[in-house]
Copies of this chain bind each other. A is one copy, B any other.
Amino acid sequence: MLVAHADLARFVAQVLVAHGMAAPDAAIVADALVWANLRGKDGHGVVRLPRYVELIQVGDLDPGARPEIALETAAMFVLDAKRAAGAVAMTRAVDDACRRAKAGGACFGLVRETTHVGAIGRFAYQAAETGCAVLMAATGPPFMAYHGTTVPSLSTSPLAIGVPGDAEPVVLDLATSVASIGRIRQMLASGRSLPDGWALVDEGTDAGGTGSRIVPLPMAGAKGAGLSLMFELLTSVLGGAPILSTHLGPEHRTRHLQNAFVLALDVAAFRTASGFRHDVGELTAIIKALPVREGFDEVRLPGEGSAAVERLRRQKGIPLLPSTWEALRSLGAAHSVDLPRI
């Protein structure tokens, strides 16, 4: 089932507006979810909309929240997101961080108390398109097992690094798990089985069933686990909004919450932007032309695979699983929002 991306975004925004979100914010969230689908990151795409609505209904996501700067110095700020949608808070944080970087060379922004950040690469593109190099990460509730443990104890903390490029930005976007929980869910929903080492799956349950307990494992074992733990310390704990210790500690509070940080560097403060872009183009061309190892089709640059998917999906439409389509249909019907055209 193929849906045009613009019409899908229109639908998502209308559903969010029907749940009390202001139209400009709804457009930002819709755009971020559909962008994930366009880039082939379907686990962070519109499949999340029912969950966003649920978060609004239980009061964990405030559709009317207006994020505010809680703290700032010459080189950093803390954005209190007040439980705004992740895309709204991140768009604002990247905007602020890049504006401040243009003034002072660099800026570190902390985003406190937001909700599902989604495909973090989106915000790295946003920064790189303004001429900033950027490094950002997000943390959230524990889904992934810390290295050597059996229980969900770490966020699958996504990380993105982006720079302006010769033609377009070069953006690396990854989860600190072997695969993101979204991708794992999407794989199971589409009936595929998980490769070895991706997750712990409770024995006696069907890995494809929705009731089975799936615990993603960190990439590179102790390294991925360490990165995720340090991101929690650098964001949630530094911002005074700990997530893991409230979930795992004696309080055992499990309310949905995410935090993030954004480091923005104004390329032009370091060297001429054109010289930088030229050198990025030169290096990526060199990497792209390296001899290909047996078993690989080509050498792929960060974001290159997703860019190819995006070109295709912008033209042909976004494929949706029947289960996702059904969920969207229910949301549309509940609020008389016209379904996107197939």
Residues on B with C-beta less than 8 A from A296 are 148-149
Which residues 269-293 in A have Cβ within 8 Å of B in the complex? Answer: 269-271, 275-276, 279-280, 282-283, 286-287, 290-293
- A24, CB-defined interface residue at 8 Å: no
- With an 8 Å Cβ cutoff, the count of chain A residues facing the other chain is 78
Nearest B residue to A243 by beta-carbon distance?
A: B283
B283 with A245: CB separation less than 8 A: yes
- Pick from B279, B286, B293, B300: contact of A248, CB under 8 Å: B286
Cross-chain contact A73 with B104 (CB below 8 angstroms):
yes
CA gap between A282 and B267 in the complex, in Å: 38
Q: Is A312 an interface residue (CB 8 A)?
A: no
So how many copies of this chain end up in the complex?
A: 2
In the complex the two chains form, what is the Cα distance from A234 to B151 in whole Å? 35
User: A240-B271, A265-B76 known; A245 and B279 CB under 8 Å?
Assistant: yes
Q: Is there an interface contact between B178 and A287, defined as CB atoms closer than 8 Å?
A: no
How far apart are A72's CB and chain B's nearest CB, in angstroms? 8
In the complex, besides A73-B105, A149-B299, A172-B226, 5 extra interface pairs with C-beta distance below 8 angstroms are: A74-B104, A163-B237, A170-B230, A233-B283, A238-B267
Residues of A within 8 A of B (CB): 71-76, 78, 100-101, 103-108, 110, 133, 135, 145-151, 153, 161, 163, 170, 172, 174, 178, 200, 219-220, 222-224, 226-227, 229-230, 232-234, 237-240, 242, 244-245, 248-249, 263, 265, 267, 269-271, 275-276, 279-280, 282-283, 286-287, 290-293, 296, 298-302
A145 touches B232 (CB 8 A): no
Residues of B within 8 A of A161 (CB): 227, 230, 233-234
CA distance A148 to B297 in the complex (A): 8
Which residues on the B side are within 8 Å of A75 (C-beta)? 74-75, 100-101, 104-107
Given contacts A74-B105, A105-B75, A172-B230, contact A279 B151 (CB under 8 A): no
